[in-house]
Amino acid sequence: MTGSPALTLYGYWRSGTSYRTRIALNLKGLAYEQRPVNLLENAQSRDDYRSLNPQGLVPALMVDDSVLVQSSAILEWLEERFPDPPLLPKAPDLRAVVRAMAMMVACDIHPLNNIRVLKALRSDFGADDGARNAWIAHWITQGFAALDTLIARHGGTYAFGDDLSMADCHIVPQVYSAERFHVPLDAYPALMRAATNARAHPAVAAASPERQPDASPS
């Protein structure tokens, strides 16, 4: 393979899965074009976007003429195609720890709190804002408690040791979401130290929602 592929990220400024993909792209030092998909206008469900991603979810990463979907799979692809700087340690046992941290967010926190689920809680069960915020806080609290234990055990400057990893790519957007929904975070000092350090890294900071082209005052 010669040269870098043309990369276009279809995402939404405040989507956690888009945010984690931006962090990884930035950490790899890759240039990419952004095509905003406005979730509030349901743009992800339109035919033109579904022709790219039949699931109708963000993000999608166009690589030359092909499309990658599912942010955690995209991060693994980035790691394989652009190994430097690495977002996983070398030893399988340590890679498994980093991936477990990432999956705690990707599988057990984020999916329960994203916009399509919150909409369903309202439409199916009449959940008002208070009930939905309690729901969000519940799953974040459960997941962060476990993550804090793992980060206290394995973390350094960042979630795993002193190098940014896939774990941080997943954790930083989840902390952003927790703050947005006013979830108290004092009980997770190891996690918050790692997240604060990660956010201060220029590549991570450049991925933050308010710095994206489609950001709007909320």
Interface residue list for a copy of itself (CB under 8 A): 53-57, 63, 66, 68-70, 72-74, 76-77, 80-81, 92-93, 95-96, 99-100, 102-104, 106-108, 110-112, 117, 120-121, 124-127, 131, 134-135, 138, 142-143, 145-146, 149-150
Instruction: Write down the least CB distance from residue 118 to a copy of itself, Å.
Output: 12
Q: How far is the CB of 90 from a copy of itself (least distance, A)?
A: 10
CB 7 within 8 A of CB 77: no
Cα atoms in the 13 Å half-sphere on the side-chain side of 174: 33
Sign of the Cα pseudo-torsion (179, 44, 28, 163, in order): positive
When the beta carbons of 152 and 215 are compared against a copy of itself, the nearer one is 152
| Cβ partners under 8 Å of residue 150, min gap 6 | 97, 100, 101, 104
| Closer residue to a copy of itself, CB minimum distance, 96 or 187 | 96
Cβ neighbors of 213 (< 8 A, separation 6 or more) are: 13, 34, 36
Nearer to a copy of itself, 146 or 206 (CB): 146
- Contact yes or no for 106/170 (Cβ under 8 A): yes
Question: With respect to a copy of itself, which residue has the nearer C-beta, 100 or 206?
Answer: 100
Bond from prior residue into 59 cis (ω within 30 degrees of 0): yes
Nearest to a copy of itself of 132, 201 (CB atom): 132
Q: Which is nearer to a copy of itself, 43 or 205 (CB)?
A: 43
The least distance separating a copy of itself from the CB of residue 82, rounded to whole angstroms, comes to: 10
The token pair at 209 is 């929602």
Helix (H) or strand (E) run with residue 67 in it: strand 66-69
CB of 59 to a copy of itself, least distance (A): 11
| Closer by beta carbon to a copy of itself, 103 or else 206 | 103
CA 105/CA 36 separation, integer angstroms: 23
CA atoms within 13 A on the CB side of 29: 6
Taking the complex as a whole, the smallest distance from the CB of residue 204 to a copy of itself amounts, in Å, to 22
* 61 close to 68: Cβ distance less than 8 angstroms: yes
CA 161 to mean position of chain CA atoms: 20
